[in-house]
Amino acid sequence: MRRLFTLCAAVLLSVAAFAQSKGYGWPMDLKPVSFSSTYGELRRNHFHAGLDWRTGGRSGERLYSIKEGYVCRLSVSPVGYGNAVYIQHPDGTMSVYGHMASFRDDLAQRVLREQYDKKSYRVVIYPSPDDFPVEKGDFIGLSGNSGSSGGPHLHMEIRKEGDNLPVNYLADGTYPVTDTKKPVINRVGFYAFEDSSAVPVVRRLQMVSNPDKYKGTVAVSDKFYVAIDAVDHMDGTGGRMAVERYRVYLDSEKIFDFKVGDVPYSKGRYYACLVQQGEKGHDLLKTWCPPNNGLLYKVEADNDGIICLEDEGTHTLKVVVADCFGNSSSCSFSVRRDPSIKVFEPADTVGRLAALWYVPTVYSSDGMTLTIPAASLNASAYIKCEKVSRADPSLGRYSDVWTIGDGNIHLQRPLRIRLSTAKVPAGLSDKAYIAQRDDKGELSYAGNTPVEGGLEAETRFGTFLVAVDTVAPQLVPRVKDGDKLPSDGRFSIEANDRGCGVAQFDASWDGEWILSQYVGGRIQIYPDKRHRTGRTHNVMVSATDHCGNSSTIRFEVIY
């Protein structure tokens, strides 16, 4: 047992020494190191730009600067990285620590002062190099779950000098870890493709699950492409990690090669050009390369990733995926062209607009005007544009209801929709807004910019109508009037608005502004030690929705 302990200690020391030799320390004391997500993971609309370090499912792990330098940025937000520290290092790199629970005391005091000066929970601060210098290993705060986080962890990035480029620092050996596990190919989809007109048409032919066990022959059209659902796994964690490289071969000849590498923030929005939209589950990376793709320089592909079979014989298609440690997996298929497969049917275009990606698309009908700006689409496409029901004020529909687009098409920038307000009574014109309706019939705010004869909103694809909201948000404290607050003083108010949603809120403590934030349908109040006197305090909270309806509540607490 003693020899085993000595061996384990030696391994940990050698790993630590390697990290030291690269000039970086560890961001946490927690060992063994494991991750819940790695660089380049395909997220809903972007690449994951760092590593998610596991913290045992809990907040409160002490975080340290991985290198000497100075705190160059402090950021607080209810979304994104939440509480985050950015440290500039002498070699030009920057380290980023996101989703923190709290900052160390001097950083926290600077943030709190800025929040009260700006009267805003959200702040971004750019300290000077002399304000908060740090050495490698200096304490900077505690890990947490703030911002857009699905559970306690540390999101940490290392960015390169000059271009603020997040790099895959696991791949370059900054923190050596053992990974002997191969990626897993979960699904491979086959898609018919037709581009004889200016607008290509895509149709799914077959989705093969457990492809390593598939023994059949896939019938394909004259032109087709494939999309791959693959994830990586690592020793010591059950998380779904990023695949680093995708390759496809036809009869042993490589026809597609994509390597994630380092992805600039300016290019991250082109993520959607690489994935097959509209498929449930984990995203699939496709071989077809649409024209409006800022990541084409990372792809090697014959014929833009479209596969053309010249005969009706049986061919072998092979898919190979690899992680950043060189572990790889593959699967192979027999494919044969079937001339009877039809990709395009005239009925496919009924109720759809032929939108060319490189020019604006403008369409008007029955009090609705749709504008899709140039370069908003990844490729030219037939866009669904359908009136699904007529205006009926008695049912809360103050315009016709329009469905624009669907889940199979991605927008890189918002479209503009304009709807007539002719059905809105004059006395309610300032209470009208453009609502987006979900599959359950629930409405949410899309916009209410006044234009001649109507309202306009910048938004994404969906179902839209003009609605009216005359009801103020309902505010319900989570504490009772006169309650004694817990030691940290924090409490919340439910802020429910079933109409156009809360747009603004404010809170005061004994007549003075107090730090608060609105998140998840609640207004969170943050008294600090300055507010704690052991007596009764007067609290006032107000909220206003997007149509100007306001409500205010007053109550007392003891703190």
The DSSP annotation for 153-184 comes to EEEEEEE-TTT--B--TTTTTSS-----PPPE
What pLDDT, on a 0 to 100 scale, did the predictor assign at position 269?
A: 83
Q: What angle do CA 56, 58, 64 make, to 5 degrees?
A: 80
What are the tens digits of pLDDT across the range 449-495? 999 999 999 999 999 999 999 999 999 999 999 999 999 999 999 99
Neighbours of 186 (CB within 10 A): 17
What are the tens digits of pLDDT across the range 149-184? 989 999 999 998 767 899 999 888 888 788 899 999
What pLDDT, on a 0 to 100 scale, did the predictor assign at position 347?
A: 63
Beta-strand pair 245-250/223-234: unpaired
In whole angstroms, give the CA distance from residue 43 to residue 52: 13
What pLDDT, on a 0 to 100 scale, did the predictor assign at position 22?
A: 61
For 125, phi and psi rounded to 5 degrees? Answer: -120, 140
DSSP code of residue 238: E
- Residue 231 and residue 187 in contact, taking contact as beta carbons nearer than 8 Å: no
Q: How far is CA 107 from CA 85, 132, 226, 508, in A?
A: 9, 8, 50, 24
In whole angstroms, give the CA distance from residue 316 to residue 301: 17
In whole angstroms, give the CA distance from residue 37 to residue 240: 7
What pLDDT, on a 0 to 100 scale, did the predictor assign at position 21?
A: 41
Helix and strand counts by DSSP (H, E) for the chain: 3, 42
Q: What angle do CA 361, 434, 371 make, to 5 degrees?
A: 5
In whole angstroms, give the CA distance from residue 85 to residue 79: 15
DSSP code of residue 382: E
Beta-strand pair 217-220/328-337: parallel
DSSP code of residue 482: T
In whole angstroms, give the CA distance from residue 63 to residue 142: 6
In whole angstroms, give the CA distance from residue 468 to residue 432: 4
What's the pTM value of the predicted model, to 2 decimals? 0.90
Beta-strand pair 201-209/217-220: unpaired
What pLDDT, on a 0 to 100 scale, did the predictor assign at position 463?
A: 98
CA dihedral 48, 53, 54, 60 (to 10 degrees): -120
For 85, residues 6+ apart whose C-beta sits below 8 A from its C-beta are 63, 71, 73, 74, 96, 97, 100, 103, 107, 140, 141
| Regions in the chain scoring below 50 on pLDDT | 1-21
In whole angstroms, give the CA distance from residue 164 to residue 507: 37
Instruction: For residue 502, list its beta bridge partners.
Output: 545
With tokens 């023994």, the residue in question is 215
Where do the domains of the chain lie, and which CATH numbers do they carry?
A: 2-159 (2.70.70.10), 184-337 (2.70.50), 346-468 (2.60.220.30), 474-558 (2.60.40.3780)
**Buried b / exposed e along 36-71 (16+ C-beta atoms within 10 A):** bbbbbbbeeeebbbbbbbbbeeebebebbbbbbbbb
Q: Which two tokens stand for residue 167?
A: 């790099």
